[in-house]
C-alpha cells in the first residue's frame, strides 16, 4: 500500500497525517495527551485535510481535554504501599522478598508481589507485567469465542504487547489483533469493548459511518465504554 506522511499545524494543534490508499478520511485523538493523527485518501491534499480538521475542531478539543484531565498515576517504584490497578480496582502493593518462584497474588485489597531478595525495580516490574499478561491471556480467548459468531469473523491470531498510542490494533488482511498490556488494569467491560472494536475492523477498515453502524449493532453502549476507558487512570509512562 502506497503511503505518504506529512506534518501540519492547524490553529496551534500539531497534526500527524498519513496519506494512503483508502476511501474516507479518519481523524483520531490518542492518549496520553491527545496526539491528533489523520489518515487521508491519496486524492486529498494538505488544504483538504486542514479544512476537515477545522470542521472537527470542537470534537478534537473535547477529546484532548478528556485525555489530559484523566487521572494519572505517579511513576511506579514497585515498593510496598503503592496503589496498582487490577481489572479497574485499586489494590495496595505489598512486596514480599523471599527465596522461591517470583509470582503475584491478590489477597482482598492487597496485591502481593513475591520476588527474590534483592530484586530491583525493573525485576519487580517484569514479574508484575508477566502476571498482567496471564490475566489477559485468561480472558481474551473467551471474549473472542463469544463474539466470533456475533460478528461472523474469526480471529486466527492475537498478541498482547505494550503500545503507546492505542488500546488495540488490527490487521484486516491477516486477522491478527494486538491488545495493549495496559488493559489488564482496566475494568473487564473495557477489554470487551476493545475486542469488539478490533474485531469489527475485520468487517470495516475505517472509522466511518459503516463502522459506527456496526458498533451500534454489536454493542449499543460502546461509546460509554470508550469514554470511560479513556477517562480511567493512566500509567505514568515516557510516551513519545
Look at the alpha carbons of 177, 182, 185, 186 in this order and tell me if their dihedral is positive or negative.
negative
Q: Which residues of the chain have pLDDT under 50?
A: 236-240
With beta carbons less than 8 A apart as the criterion, state whether 35 and 165 touch: yes
With beta carbons less than 8 A apart as the criterion, state whether 79 and 95 touch: yes
Looking at residue 3, its pLDDT comes to 72
**Cα 153 to Cα 40: distance, rounded to the nearest angstrom:** 27
Looking at residue 53, its pLDDT comes to 94
The two beta strands, 110-115 and 103-107, are antiparallel
Looking at residue 208, its pLDDT comes to 81
**SS3 category, 1:** coil
**Cα 228 to Cα 240: distance, rounded to the nearest angstrom:** 23
Looking at residue 237, its pLDDT comes to 43
**SS3 category, 43:** coil
Q: How many CB atoms lie within 10 A of CB 31?
A: 22
Looking at residue 79, its pLDDT comes to 93
Q: Which three cell numbers stand for residue 162?
A: 505494550
Looking at residue 75, its pLDDT comes to 67
Residue 166 makes CB contacts below 8 A (sequence gap 6+) with 30, 180
Looking at residue 240, its pLDDT comes to 28
With beta carbons less than 8 A apart as the criterion, state whether 48 and 56 touch: no
N- to C-terminal Cα separation, the chain: 25
Looking at residue 205, its pLDDT comes to 85
Amino acid at each position: 500500500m502506497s503511503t505518504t506522511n506529512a506534518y501540519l499545524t492547524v490553529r496551534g494543534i500539531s497534526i500527524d497525517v498519513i496519506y494512503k490508499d483508502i476511501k474516507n478520511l479518519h481523524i483520531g485523538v490518542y492518549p496520553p495527551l491527545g496526539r491528533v493523527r489523520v489518515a487521508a485518501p491519496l486524492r486529498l491534499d494538505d488544504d483538504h485535510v486542514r479544512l476537515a480538521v477545522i470542521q472537527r475542531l470542537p470534537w478534537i478539543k473535547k477529546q484532548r481535554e478528556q485525555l489530559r484531565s484523566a487521572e494519572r498515576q505517579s511513576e511506579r517504584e514497585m515498593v510496598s504501599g503503592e496503589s496498582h490497578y487490577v481489572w479497574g480496582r485499586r489494590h495496595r502493593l505489598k512486596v514480599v522478598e523471599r527465596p522461591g518462584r517470583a509470582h503475584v497474588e491478590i489477597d482482598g485489597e492487597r496485591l502481593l508481589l513475591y520476588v527474590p531478595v534483592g530484586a530491583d525495580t525493573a525485576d519487580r516490574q517484569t514479574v508484575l507485567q508477566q502476571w498482567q499478561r496471564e490475566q489477559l491471556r485468561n480472558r481474551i480467548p473467551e471474549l473472542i469465542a463469544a463474539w466470533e459468531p456475533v460478528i461472523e469473523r474469526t480471529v486466527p491470531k492475537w498478541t498482547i504487547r505494550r503500545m503507546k498510542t492505542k488500546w488495540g490494533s488490527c490487521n484486516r488482511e491477516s486477522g491478527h489483533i494486538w491488545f495493549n498490556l495496559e488493559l489488564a488494569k482496566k475494568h473487564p467491560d473495557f477489554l470487551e469493548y476493545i475486542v469488539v472494536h478490533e474485531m469489527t475492523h475485520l468487517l470495516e477498515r475505517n472509522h466511518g459511518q459503516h463502522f459506527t453502524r456496526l458498533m451500534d449493532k454489536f454493542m449499543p453502549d460502546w461509546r460509554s465504554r470508550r469514554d470511560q476507558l479513556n477517562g480511567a487512570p493512566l500509567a505514568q509512562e515516557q510516551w513519545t
